[in-house]
A and B are shown apart, each in its own frame.
Chain A
Amino acid sequence: MDINFLEKHPADIVQVSGSVDALTASVLTDFLSLKISQDHTNLVLDLNQVEFMSSAGLRSVLAALKECRNKGGDLRIAGAQPGVEKVLKMSGFTNILKIFPDSENALASFSN
C-alpha cells in the first residue's frame, strides 16, 4: 500500500493505492490521524487505485471520519472501484459518509 498526500483547497487529497488489509490498515490509520492532528480536517480519500479493502480498512476510514468530524471537518470518499464500493455499501458506510466518482467531484463538494 502506498499513500500520497496532496495539499489542495478547499480540502486535501489522500491518494491510496494497493491493498488496505489487516497488514497495512494501521499505516493508513496512523497517517490519517497524523494529518488530522495537523489540522488537515477536510479530506478526500481517493481510493481509485485501491484494488482491495477488507474490514480492517473500513476501521481506518471510520476512525478518520470520526476525527475529522470531531474537529468540524469531513472525510469524503472518491473513486472506489466496484469491489471496494461493495464493501462500503455492505457495511452501511454509504449512509454516514459521502462517496463521489472521482476526486475532482469530491473536492468540489467541499465548496458547496
Chain B
Amino acid sequence: MHQITRSAELTSLPEFRKYINLACSHHSGIDKQITYDLQLAVDEACTNIITHGYQGMNPGSIILSLEFKGAYIEVTITDFGHAFEPIQTPAPDLEAGLEDRPTGGFGLYFIYQTMDEIEYTTNPYGNRLTFIKKLESAVG
C-alpha cells in the first residue's frame, strides 16, 4: 500500500497528484487517462475537505492511500474535519446556455463520472472516503 499524509491546505493538492502519478507509474496496465481520473477525483475530494471539511478549524491532515489490487485500484482519503459526505448531486445542467450555466457542482459530478464505486464512512476518529477505480475499462 502507498500512503502519504499532508496538511489540509490547497498547497498540498499538487503533492497528492504527483504522488498518484508516481504510484501509478510503478504499475503496468495503468494508462494516462486512468491516472488522470484518479488525480481528478482525489483533487476534487481533497479540495472539498480543505475548503469545507476543515472550515473554521485549523488545517488538520489528509491521509491518501492507494492500493493496487490487480483488477482495480482502491483509493482511500482520510481526514479529521467536519463530516462532509460527497452525496451524489444531480448532474449540473450540461445543456444550459452560457448565461444559465452553473459555475459550481462539477467537483462531485466529476468524482461520480470517473470512479466506479464510492463509499463514505465517518466516526469519531475521522472521515473516510473510498473510491474504486476498475482497470479493465475506463469509465466516462
Contact = CB atoms under 8 A, between A and B. Distances in A.
B106 A21 contact: no
Given A21-B13, A22-B13, A55-B44, A96 B110 contact: no
A66 interface: yes
A87 B110 contact: yes
Contacts of B101: 62, 96
A66 B109 CA distance: 22
A48 B16 CA distance: 22
A82 interface: yes
Interface in B1-51: 10-11, 13-14, 17, 32-33, 36, 39-40, 43-44, 47, 50-51
Interface of B: 10-11, 13-14, 17, 32-33, 36, 39-40, 43-44, 47, 50-51, 92, 94-99, 101, 103-104, 106-107, 109-110, 113, 140
10 contacts: A22-B10, A22-B50, A52-B36, A55-B107, A55-B109, A69-B98, A87-B40, A90-B110, A91-B110, A92-B96
